[in-house]
Amino acid sequence: MKEKKRNPSQSDVSLFQDIVLHLDIVVLEREAATGTFRLHGIPPAWWHQFADTADATTVDLSRCSPFLQEYVAAWLHMGSSELSIVEKSGPWTESDGQGGTMTLEAGTLSIGSRQLLFIERMGSGFEQMHTIVQRARERVLAEEVAVKSHRQVETHLLTQLEASEQTKDDLLALLQHLHLAALVLNEQGIITFASHRGLELLGIEASHVIGLTWESVLHVREDDRAMIHEMIRKSLDGERTRVVHIEQPRPIWIELEIHRDPDSPSRRILVLHDRTELHALRQALNEQTSFHDLVGKSSVMLRTYQLVRDVARVDTTVLIEGETGTGKELIARAIHCSSERQRKPFIAANCAGLTDSILTSQLFGHKRGAFTGAVSDQQGLFEAADGGTLFLDEIGDIPQHVQTALLRVLQEKEITRLGEAKPRKVNVRVVAATHHNLSEDVVRGTFRADLLYRIRIARISLPPLRERREDIPLLAQSFLGQISTATGKSIDRLSSSTLHLLMSYVWPGNVRELKSAIEFAVISCKGKDIIPDDLPPEITDASAPSRSPVWVPLAGGDEKSRLLAALSDAKGNRTEAARRLGVSRATFYRRLVELNIQSR
């Protein structure tokens, strides 16, 4: 059916113009004859800024935006069949003539032979869309920045990790290279790392170490364990070390050093130094510098040790001579312990100051009723020491009657208890000791010559300490160790000035006096080292320049004069007189008796 054409009325024209005005668009129609565009209706105000056609209805597009020109050119370039499907231009921006911009979009329409061009100013809808896209892109940019930042952090961390791994590898390599034995403990005391050398030293595999407590790996003595616990707790960072004996899986001596892990203060690094060889060497050295309980490495003592060994090999009686405190009983014990009698009894008896009958009873025993107070049979020391050794100290003080009985025992090897008639066989080695010169006693007639010859088959003379001063540091250190342990005090050493005093003192009481002095000093000591003030006053006073540093016992009348002079100076006070002479009170008394000096 053919559509009937109708000419637009005046009202239609008016309506069209209102619509164009309200839609804020410009409608242009192309004049086919001239190629120019004619404006339809009344254009919006912005159009005049754009097209510069304030009063004209004919528009020259060559004066418009190149964007619009290209769009129109592309439209017109199409064949007539395509004209009706040209897409919109898309938005473009133009100056609004007031310092700002406006966004426009063009469209085309072909109605029959009429070619219409619409230009629209993009309104609030476009602005909303612009805002959304703007925000979306800003967000994408922000995310890219965040991702980049994260990537940088990740790269930094990876670099650090790599460096850390490298450092760890280097340290491990260094540990292995240095052959450093080390264990690392976590805060629970569990081993988290063990160096190869550490495993090698302990003689165990990593699988038997890692994840275990140090106590289950290091098998040490109870007191060492307590000390290591304390060291781990305090961790004075290697300031303290301790040599401990590891019992399992293989016995070794290690010096343990404990450090804080610098990166984690609650973790500990245990450095283990193998001291097994050193310990063995020290032990060997100790054996050279001591013999049983005797300490000393002076040539005279080394000769004495050899003499003891020689004497121990035979079963003869032995006479040990030496001043009081020189260690005569220790020599007797050493002989016994080195001899074949070592598993049998060692009996020591001091013969000084005992009466004839008491000494006889003690040595030979008695029968019940033999004398008043003998309420039961009693064996004597000879019988008690049967098979072993009887040490008779101060044999020079034995009364004559007992000397005779003793001689018979040594000859017959049998004893007769007091109150009994029948002798008893005994197998006893007699080791006698005296501070007397028994030869002089024989001359004086106070000691039987035949007994002397009987007991002096073998003879050992012990030197006084003042004649082996080089042994004083060794002795002092040995006593310090024993006494510190016994008293529970942690005193490590003697100061050099203390040692100097000990070396210069005369030691009339010999080794026994030295031991007493160290005991005194340990009790007095308040620090880690023994200082001169800790020593007994007779030692520190003896060092005063006005005093004679060494008292050399004099024989006969000279010594007697000295003792008398000292007594006189001390106004008869024997203790003071002994102090002034630098001898012990006991020695002083003994000398008084020996020299027949009567004092009140």
Binding site for other proteins (CB under 8 A): 65-67, 70, 74, 90-93, 101, 103, 105, 126, 129-130, 133-134, 136-138, 140-141, 144, 148
Cβ closest to other proteins, residue 90 vs residue 112: 90
> How crowded is the C-beta side of 394, counted as CA atoms within 13 Å?
13
Q: E-assigned strands of 439-544?
A: 458-461, 493-494, 529-530
Cβ closest to other proteins, residue 105 vs residue 559: 105
Of 319, 480, 505, nearest to 398 by C-alpha is: 319
Cβ closest to other proteins, residue 101 vs residue 299: 101
Dump the DSSP string for 264-278: EEEEEEEEEEE-HHH
Residue 350 near residue 393, CB atoms below 8 Å:
yes
Cβ closest to other proteins, residue 137 vs residue 401: 137
Tell me the pairing of strands 493-494 and 529-530.
parallel
Tell me the pairing of strands 264-274 and 241-246.
unpaired
Q: How far is the CB of 152 from other proteins (least distance, A)?
A: 9
Residue 121 near residue 102, CB atoms below 8 Å:
yes
Q: How far is the CB of 134 from other proteins (least distance, A)?
A: 5
- Length of the chain counted residue by residue: 600
Cβ closest to other proteins, residue 129 vs residue 523: 129
Q: How far is CA 592 from CA 259, 508, 560, 585, 589, in A?
A: 63, 15, 8, 11, 5
Q: How far is the CB of 250 from other proteins (least distance, A)?
A: 59
Spatial distance between the Cα atoms of 28 and 50, rounded to a whole number of angstroms = 14
Question: And the tokens for 121?
Answer: 């100013």
Q: How far is the CB of 170 from other proteins (least distance, A)?
A: 30
Of 249, 320, 245, nearest to 279 by C-alpha is: 245
Cβ closest to other proteins, residue 136 vs residue 486: 136
Residue 507 near residue 465, CB atoms below 8 Å:
yes
Residue 386 near residue 426, CB atoms below 8 Å:
yes
Cβ closest to other proteins, residue 129 vs residue 565: 129
Q: How far is the CB of 80 from other proteins (least distance, A)?
A: 20
Q: How far is the CB of 57 from other proteins (least distance, A)?
A: 26
- Provide the 3-class DSSP secondary structure of residue 488: coil
Q: E-assigned strands of 387-509?
A: 389-393, 414-415, 424-425, 429-434, 458-461, 493-494
Q: How far is the CB of 274 from other proteins (least distance, A)?
A: 54
Cβ closest to other proteins, residue 69 vs residue 400: 69
Question: And the tokens for 382?
Answer: 């000879």
Cβ closest to other proteins, residue 128 vs residue 176: 128
Spatial distance between the Cα atoms of 367 and 13, rounded to a whole number of angstroms = 168
User: Which phi and psi (to 5°) does residue 122 adopt?
Assistant: -70, 130
Q: How far is the CB of 48 from other proteins (least distance, A)?
A: 20
Q: How far is the CB of 41 from other proteins (least distance, A)?
A: 26
Cβ closest to other proteins, residue 32 vs residue 141: 141
Q: How far is the CB of 99 from other proteins (least distance, A)?
A: 12
Q: Is the dihedral of CA 520, 524, 530, 535 positive or negative?
A: negative
Q: How far is the CB of 105 from other proteins (least distance, A)?
A: 8
What's the CA dihedral at 209, 211, 217, 222 to 10 degrees? 170
Cβ closest to other proteins, residue 129 vs residue 503: 129
